[in-house]
Amino acid sequence: MAERQGGSIIEWLEIDMTKLSGVERVGLIDEIMNMLSAQELRQVRESAEKKRAGKLKDARSAFLVEMRQKAEQLDLSFEDVLTMQNETKTRSRKRESTPAKIKYRSPNGEEWSGRGRAPVWLRNLEAEGHNRDEYLVQAEG
């Protein structure tokens, strides 16, 4: 191996990174990290986080450009697409559900639909020897 005179360490070590798979590149980094001190690892972490943030910013920008282009192909503005998405979410949330009908009522007026876990008042009454059917609400009408 020749003496290092500038250039990247990868070139100096004569490693062709294009021939390595992602798994192999990560493995190489892992092997190197095994040799680093805690301080050096902190520096690596900080550097990696800065690079990650930059790459995420670039990817986000590229994504927005691509989505704007696709929206324009449909004669829509990207903002229109976002507005339509928000309207769809709002519309689906506004759907009102009908409350479950009351199936059981306690002597004190507490009510339960019969769905989910039995309420404490009913469990206490059953523990005292009462039958759940004693508290069935008669169908009105």
Tokens 């059953």 correspond to 126
Extended beta strands in the chain, E state? 104-105, 111-112
- Confidence band of 141 (pLDDT split at 50, 70, 90): very low
Closest CA to 135 of 101, 116, 100, 111: 111
Residue 100, pLDDT score = 86
Whether pTM > 0.85 for this model: the answer is no
Residue 33, pLDDT score = 93
Distant-in-sequence, close-in-space partners of 132: CB < 8 Å, separation ≥ 6? 104, 118, 122, 126
Q: What percentage of the chain carries pLDDT values higher than 70?
A: 86
* Contact (Cβ atoms closer than 8 angstroms) between residue 33 and residue 26: no
Residue 93, pLDDT score = 61
- Mean local confidence (pLDDT), 24-36: 91
Tens of pLDDT, residue by residue over 42-63, are 999 999 999 999 999 999 999 9
Instruction: Answer with the residue of higher pLDDT: 79 or 126.
Output: 126
Backbone torsions φ then ψ of 59, nearest 5 degrees = -65, -40
* Contact (Cβ atoms closer than 8 angstroms) between residue 111 and residue 102: yes
What single letter denotes the amino acid at residue 122? Answer: L
Residue 4, pLDDT score = 65
